[in-house]
Amino acid sequence: MSDDVIYETADEAGSYDTTEGKVFTVSGGDWDQVSGDEGIEQRVVVNMGPQHPSTHGVLRLILELDGETVTQARSGIGYLHTGIEKNMEFRTWTQGVTYVTRMDYLSPIFNETAYCLGVEKLLGITEQIPDRASVIRVMLMELNRIASHLVFLATGGMELGALTAMTFGFREREPVLDVLEAITGLRMNHAYIRPGGLAQDLPDGAEQMVADLLKLLRKRLPDTANLLVGNSIWMSRTEGVGYLDLTGCIALGMTGPVLRSTGYPWDLRKMQPYCGYEDYEFEVATQTTCDAYGRFLIRLEEMQQSMNIVEQCLDKLRPGPVMVEDKKIAWPAQLAIGSDGMGNSLEHIRHIMGQSMEALIHHFKLVTEGFRVPAGQAYVSIEAPRGELGVHVVSDGGTRPYRVHFRDPSFNNLQAVPAMSEGGQVADVVAAVASIDPVMGGVDR
């Protein structure tokens, strides 16, 4: 290709004058030929994303560069906004679970639990949730935390060029999702936690599956640790990178592993327990390095702690109901696997169709109309894999949420990208963003 052709291509991309000087929009080519030899002062702004393999989904980073050094960084979001919160206002409280589970799609169980805790708070039934339901919620949340942290390892490793970490991470996550599928019916978007309890009890053999999974994970998880902990390439990519100290974290409202990497053991499971977390023994993982490497170590340790919690859940599981007794709230059906998949159990169908007109009416009313939640508002928060997941639930006394807002940790934490990456190199931006572990589904909702 001759020089002329390149010049033409670059010229087609266009240039225009602004109050701050001439702006060139280029997507390739040789800079000298694009700008001509006017000797103008250069200010290079690079648009990274929203479609870029190292920006964790559809995050857009706008970087101002001086050579390889990032002088200014901004993040642009909104590419995955789907109006989930608005949609929920047109569905019943129970149906809302199906929406919230799709927000942060790597930690669906946390979204469901946070939402249900909020609804239960408004209903005033927090104390009536059966123990078994709470234990199963904790067990699934911790399994979900492991799966989520494994995706952090996988995608974070891949973005920094450690492709084996990716294959390891996704390999380990698969059996976790298999167990979640066996229990809830789906790998993701479970809609398993419901206001008042759970959609259904554990299926036969689930406890054994979880026990086997723990055995497998205990054997396999050290693989990733052995691969990366102390690895000189990994350390030079992550040590001292994405630095944010305690002052910065508090100012920016950072929570989760980023806050704990400053040495502050703030974990809502310990500080403001919910779902009976006060009854479990576990350590809060912290590091004092304030950097991406510290956050990586924290997540490795949290997976170990999560396995300990799941083990304790298995010990705590006692037979019992998984839904509140109040028949005005408890979903009437008992689900079962039939020849055509999951559905209402034949026994329940027989009861409402053949034996009790009242049961049929009750079932119909609760499923089509839903239950009413007393007017008021509540803010509840739980420790999600990425930090504080807060839910602000507002009811006007009707059968549908008046307003539900998720304070997603990824949304808040992404604000730290400029603080973490300005002054570093372009490659360090990738490490810094990976250490925040944002999930755009949760950011944009």
Partner 1 sequence: MTENSDVVPAGTETLDVLSSGQGAFGVDGTPDVSGYGGLVRTTHAAPAATRPYGGWYDDAVDTLAQALGDNFGPAVSKVVIAADQLTLEIEREHLLEVMAHLRDHPALRFEMCMGANGVHWPEDTGRELHVHYPMLSMTHNRRLSVEVTCPDDDPHIPSVVGIYPGNDWHERETFDFFGVIFDGHPGLTRIEMPDDWVGHPQRKDYPLGGIPVEYKGATIPPPDDRREYK
Positions in the binding site for partner 1 (CB under 8 A)? 77-78, 81, 83, 85-87, 89-91, 121-122, 124, 250-254, 266, 271-272, 368-370, 372, 374-379, 381, 388, 390, 392, 394, 396-399, 402-403, 405, 407, 411-412, 414-415, 444-445
Return the DSSP state at 161: T
Does the CA dihedral 433-438-443-445 come out positive or negative?
positive
Q: Are 255 and 244 in contact (CB under 8 A)?
A: no
From the CB of 380, what's the least distance to partner 1, in Å?
9
From the CB of 96, what's the least distance to partner 1, in Å?
13
Select 239 or 396, whichever has its Cβ closest to partner 1. 396
Q: Are 368 and 333 in contact (CB under 8 A)?
A: no
Select 125 or 186, whichever has its Cβ closest to partner 1. 125
Residue 306's closest CA among 385, 190, 192, 386?
Answer: 385
Q: Are 333 and 353 in contact (CB under 8 A)?
A: no
From the CB of 408, what's the least distance to partner 1, in Å?
9
Is the peptide bond preceding residue 195 cis, with omega within 30 degrees of 0?
Answer: no
Select 139 or 252, whichever has its Cβ closest to partner 1. 252
**Structure tokens that stand for 339 in this block:** 């020849």
From the CB of 119, what's the least distance to partner 1, in Å?
11
From the CB of 138, what's the least distance to partner 1, in Å?
21
Select 123 or 147, whichever has its Cβ closest to partner 1. 123
Select 81 or 218, whichever has its Cβ closest to partner 1. 81
From the CB of 97, what's the least distance to partner 1, in Å?
16
Q: Strand, helix or coil at 167?
A: helix
Give dist(CA 159, CA 146) in Å, integer: 20
Amino acid at 82: T
Select 68 or 278, whichever has its Cβ closest to partner 1. 278
Select 82 or 288, whichever has its Cβ closest to partner 1. 82
From the CB of 436, what's the least distance to partner 1, in Å?
13
Residue 314's closest CA among 149, 143, 172?
Answer: 143
* Phi, psi torsion values for 28, nearest 5 degrees: 165, -170
From the CB of 137, what's the least distance to partner 1, in Å?
20
From the CB of 371, what's the least distance to partner 1, in Å?
11
SS (H, E, C) 103-150: CCCCCHHHHHHHHHHHHHHHHCCHHHCCHHHHHHHHHHHHHHHHHHHH
Select 100 or 254, whichever has its Cβ closest to partner 1. 254
For the chain, the distance separating the N- and C-terminal CA atoms, rounded to the nearest angstrom, is 46
Q: Are 143 and 179 in contact (CB under 8 A)?
A: yes
Select 185 or 390, whichever has its Cβ closest to partner 1. 390
Does the CA dihedral 97-98-104-109 come out positive or negative?
positive
Give dist(CA 377, CA 433) in Å, integer: 34
